[in-house]
Amino acid sequence: MKMEELNIKKYDILSRIFKYPHPALLTDLKLAENIVREFHPELLEYLETFTECVSSSTLSQMEEIYTRTFDVQAITTLDTGYVLFGDDYKRGALLANLNKEHLAVENNCGTELADHLPNLLKLLPRMKDNLIRLELVKKIILPALNKIISDFASERIRQRNISYKKHYKTLLESSRDYALIYRFPLQLILKILGFDFGLMPGDELKQEKSFTKEIINELEINEK
């Protein structure tokens, strides 16, 4: 699909799914559902499952689920640079260059860092260079999403729970049905991005430029 034909503005609304739970979350989810229904109706069930969870939970319960999933001794994190590079200096380089991209289009990152997934999704429709946007999706967002989703695997969850019990004596209370609920909207975003940007596993860009070039080259050198 050509970038000029892509309704890229939808990512601004879809980014709200991953914000810390707030009173307007259900309203935002309804807007997101309308978008998915219009552009990707075959994926609507992913969002409907998550919406059902939000509708059946109090705000404090959703805050607890979010915290258990992404914050305190979390299953995973939404900071894509940390997911890909950990505390390596490559993440610092990525953050520095992402900050420039955010500033260039006046994309407010709030209290989160430049590589936070919702901030990157908000950035996509604001970027002027289609090639840089494509590279951001392929080299940063999609690989990070794949890693984040893999962290929901049962064995990884079991190991994290063992560690949590060891250090904090008890697990945060959370619904058995909804403890891993965020995997559904994460899978939704992964599929929409792959479809919109025409990216399949193994796809390679013919040309590389922009803020990820130096990081990618360093990774390739280290892998040899």
Number of domains in the chain: 1
Higher pLDDT, 5 or 23: 23
The confidence score (pLDDT) of residue 203 equals 44
**Residue span of the structural domain in which 120 resides:** 3-223
Spatial distance between the Cα atoms of 176 and 56, rounded to a whole number of angstroms = 13
Spatial distance between the Cα atoms of 38 and 121, rounded to a whole number of angstroms = 19
pTM, two decimals, is 0.80
Structure confidence by residue, pLDDT tens digits, 122-139: 999 999 999 999 999 999
From the CB of residue 214, how many other CB atoms can be counted at a distance below 10 Å? Answer: 13
Residue 83 above 80 pLDDT? yes
Mean pLDDT in residue range 97-113: 96
